[in-house]
Amino acid sequence: MTSKGNPEKTHPAAHAARFECNFRQAPKAFPHFWEHTVGSGHAPLALRADWQAQMLRCHNELGFKHVRFHALLSDEMGTLVCEENKLLYSFFNADQIIDFLLSIGMRPFVELSFMPEALASGSTTVFGYHANVTPPKDYDRWAMLIEKLLAHWVARYGAAEVRHWFFEVWNEPNLPAFWTGGQDGYFRLYSCTASAIKSVDDALDALKVGGPATANNKWIPDFLAYCRKNAAPVDFISTHHYPTDAFGTPGADTITQLQHAPRGVMRAQASTVREEAGDYPVYYTEWNLSSNPRDALHDEPFAAAFATKIVMDAHGLVQGYSFWTFSDIFSENYFPSVPFQGGFGLLNINGIAKPLYRAFELLHHLGNELFEVHGDHPTVDAWVVGKEKSATILLTNLAMPRHPIHTELVHLRISGAPTPRTAWIERIDEDHANPRGVWHTMGEPEYLSVIEVEQLARVSVLRKEPQPWTRKRENLEFDVSLPPQSVAAITIEFA
């Protein structure tokens, strides 16, 4: 066991975690809001063949519909450059990305960033690719860039298609590392950008634009107040949050930050944003279990358990919940060759599925009817989700780092359910769907052979194992042993 918790022996049956669910109740609608969008790194990565292969796989296996990335307007993309004192527009590279996304049934969630050097008012940059984070020196020229880009896309793909896209103005402008213009400067940039977008398609302001795209849920009331006062168009609220935000002292490691974060911190934060946003749709365009781009926890079963709880807790609060990121093909500052590097991704650089990926696979297979479950336990959570002729019992056993956690016997009773035809369980824990653990036993090679990649891919898959049940009158009863920091899904097919 790693440092993620303090495991002890299994609790005896008398102290089992007990949950009950009544199938006679009317279930709540359960849209797969986390599949609306997924994050990537910065735009040029989307031109890579391996990025595209992993994106296709995530779309097919996990159901993601949009993808968001940084730096579509940065100089690496060649969108706008200055040569011989002349502004040159080139949307070819951007089109290549969008052509690919549309070809596989996906769409962009367009983050309009960062500042082309030709328009920048300063030289401050961020990341290894030197993205300029200063305001435009000429807002009219910035507006012209946005108008030309949007008009080009409407002409190329058709207004009916582009109206399905989302346009988000900038990235985390409340952080000086990403925007040097402060709140007033961002609001001016937003108003200018939103007006330019709306000018391209006058059909009931059909192109969707929003913000403030802030870190840590900031600025939302001020942003909406500004938009109301200045008649700035806004169609949705976007923001970011990580459970490590605002916990621990400056410079604290991820484990220490998470140690001080409540298990339900992400739901609490999303509830506040939901209230602040009023009637506007809410799209979280970044979240993960930490904001550290290189942390071993991202590759471990703990991440799967925590992400599962975070997603399920966000039900009813948001329209989109974009995990950051789908792949470790990611290079904000450097590109490591280590297979399990603690990157943000669901897939590692070799395309091997991490426990996180398998958690999203289990989530994708859930139905769209959420039943109320009664029961409470300090580390175990249970959900029951139904669809036609089947249901899934989703379980997590999760404690934040350095908090007590045990292997738990979980007892769940479902009343009023039809007779099962079959049932099986799939697990994510230290011994299931955990390729990093096997990589460790290999001696942690930095460069994997083809055979090693295949071996790790095999151990990463979910395995279906028969799950027994008992029927007592009209009740179905299940007993499951749940290890620390784990996920289990029992799928029941009814006759």
pLDDT band at residue 12 using 50, 70 and 90 as cut-offs: very low
Confidence at residue 251, expressed as pLDDT on a 0 to 100 scale = 62
Residue-wise pLDDT tens digits, 425-483: 999 999 999 999 999 999 999 999 999 999 999 999 999 999 999 998 889 999 999 99
Confidence at residue 16, expressed as pLDDT on a 0 to 100 scale = 83
CB atoms within 10 A of CB 213: 29
DSSP state of 485: S
pLDDT band at residue 13 using 50, 70 and 90 as cut-offs: very low
How far apart, in whole angstroms, are the C-alpha atoms of residue 151 and residue 302?
45
Of residues 437, 424, 443, the one with CA closest to residue 488: 424
DSSP element (H, E) containing 427: strand 420-428
Residue-wise pLDDT tens digits, 378-429: 999 999 999 989 999 999 999 999 999 999 999 999 999 999 999 999 999 9
Confidence at residue 211, expressed as pLDDT on a 0 to 100 scale = 98
Q: Judge whether 453 and 442 are in contact, CB under 8 Å.
A: no
Residue-wise pLDDT tens digits, 73-82: 999 999 999 9
What residues contact residue 253 under an 8 Å CB cut-off, 6+ apart? none
Axis crossing angle, helix 49-62 with helix 92-103, rounded to the nearest 10: 30
pLDDT band at residue 334 using 50, 70 and 90 as cut-offs: confident
Range name among 123-132, 244-253, 483-492 with the lowest pLDDT average: 244-253
Q: Is the pLDDT of residue 10 over 60?
A: no
Which are the catalytic amino acids?
172, 286
**pTM (predicted TM-score):** 0.94
Q: What is the mean pLDDT of residues 353-368?
A: 98
Q: What is the mean pLDDT of residues 172-179?
A: 97
Residue-wise pLDDT tens digits, 181-235: 999 999 999 999 999 999 997 665 689 999 999 999 999 999 999 999 999 999 9
Domains and CATH numbers, the chain: 13-28+370-494 (2.60.40.1500), 31-364 (3.20.20.80)
pLDDT band at residue 14 using 50, 70 and 90 as cut-offs: very low
Residue-wise pLDDT tens digits, 75-117: 999 999 999 899 999 999 999 999 999 999 999 999 999 999 9
Residue-wise pLDDT tens digits, 230-280: 999 999 999 999 999 877 555 678 899 999 999 999 999 999 999 999 999
What Rg, from alpha-carbon coordinates, does the chain have?
23
Q: Is the pLDDT of residue 377 over 80?
A: yes
pLDDT band at residue 1 using 50, 70 and 90 as cut-offs: very low
Q: Is the pLDDT of residue 8 over 90?
A: no
How far apart, in whole angstroms, are the C-alpha atoms of residue 74 and residue 453?
34
DSSP SS3 for 210? strand
Pairing of strands 66-70, 107-112: parallel
How far apart, in whole angstroms, are the C-alpha atoms of residue 122 and residue 132?
8
